Amino acid sequence: MMKKKVKKGSALVLALMLMLSAVPLLKVQAATAVDTTKTGSIGFSIAADFSDLSDARYPVTIDLYKVASIDASGTYTAEGAFEDLDVAYVENGDSKAWGDRAEAAAGMAEGVSPDVTVQTENGEATASDLPLGLYLVYPQQMQSPLYTYTFTPYLISVPNNYYYTSTEGDDTWIYDLTGTNALELKVEQTRRLGSLQIDKQLVSHSTTMGDDASFVFQVDIPEYGDTPAVTKYVELTFDAIGTKHSLIEDIPAGLTVTVTEVYTGAGYQLVAGATDRYQPEIVADSTATVTFVNEHDGTITGGYGVVNHFVQNDAGTDYDWTQLVDNAFEAN
């Protein structure tokens, strides 16, 4: 189970995106009283843009905490672990105030068992037969193979009142918040990352033309979304038989990268049956490893090289140049 995380500073944005429908919108004097003998329901959905979350394999767990009771007049009384939460009436259903309160309630919920937990199925869920009151809706962070999804917790009144958002100032109490009254969870999607490790083995070595032998690898990372394709070069230099490693981190999960040994070192060749090209798929929080094995080819050719590395300066006006003589790191 993923640890829940609060998306700080975004509760106001959420409230606005929900057109104020997901926060308590109570008048000082409602025309009708709350029927405290009833129960209520909340329906949840997830925007179709997030296709992973519409997949039955990736349900979202939604915890609900009753943070306050409600009386016939529509007045809240904070209770239990949330007794210090400010639930007083605010003019015009102030979305910022309720957003701040949602963040405060989320902090109070740490270590507290939820009153109700539901899971989405194909992107939808319903919490039924809820005692009336004010609820903290706290979806848990979840991960698919490609993305991490973080949700914004918020407060919702059961029953709810849409006086401030209805065109005719309708202050009817709504107990069934499903169907057209269901709430769309707002979510932030972040691409998960993995790594690529290049292992280079040199099984024979010649010092006839000098001690150093260089090998260069080209790593092609395809485009994804708005991020263009990237080509990186890795250089490993040997002065003796052995194995070296190079690590490229923070590659988006799900991409298939191409790793090619573009320079085998002067006087060196791949061992029989070895390949000079791999196409591993990057898996989140994992390291894909490719191995190249070279040997001396028996000639007296020698030499080594460097990889020119250019990085744009902070002003964006020029490029700083360095030579990467060896991209090796110590593998575990």
Which letter does DSSP use for residue 75 in this model?
A: -
DSSP string, 153-180: -EEEEESEE-TTTSTT----EE-EE-GG
pLDDT value of position 5? 54
Report the pLDDT averaged over residues 64-80.
Answer: 96
Report the pLDDT averaged over residues 255-281.
Answer: 92
Structure tokens at 20: 């104020």
Strand partners, 291: 199
Domains of the chain in sequence order: 11-191 (2.60.40), 193-324 (2.60.40.1140)
Q: pTM for the full model?
A: 0.77
User: pLDDT averaged over the chain?
Assistant: 82
Residue 263 to residue 269: CA distance in whole angstroms: 9
Residue whose entry in the numeric block shows the structure tokens 């407060």 = 155
Residue 225 pLDDT greater than 90, yes or no: no
The fraction of the chain above a pLDDT of 70, given in percent, is 76
* 170 band by pLDDT with thresholds 50, 70 and 90: low
Residue 63 pLDDT greater than 70, yes or no: yes
Q: Strand 268-270 relative to strand 287-296: parallel, antiparallel, unpaired?
A: antiparallel
More confident residue, 266 or 56: 56
Residue 300 to residue 207: CA distance in whole angstroms: 9
Q: Strand 39-46 relative to strand 183-185: parallel, antiparallel, unpaired?
A: parallel
Residue 106 pLDDT greater than 80, yes or no: yes
The values of phi and psi at residue 281, to 5°, are: -95, 135
| Widest Cα–Cα separation across the chain | 97
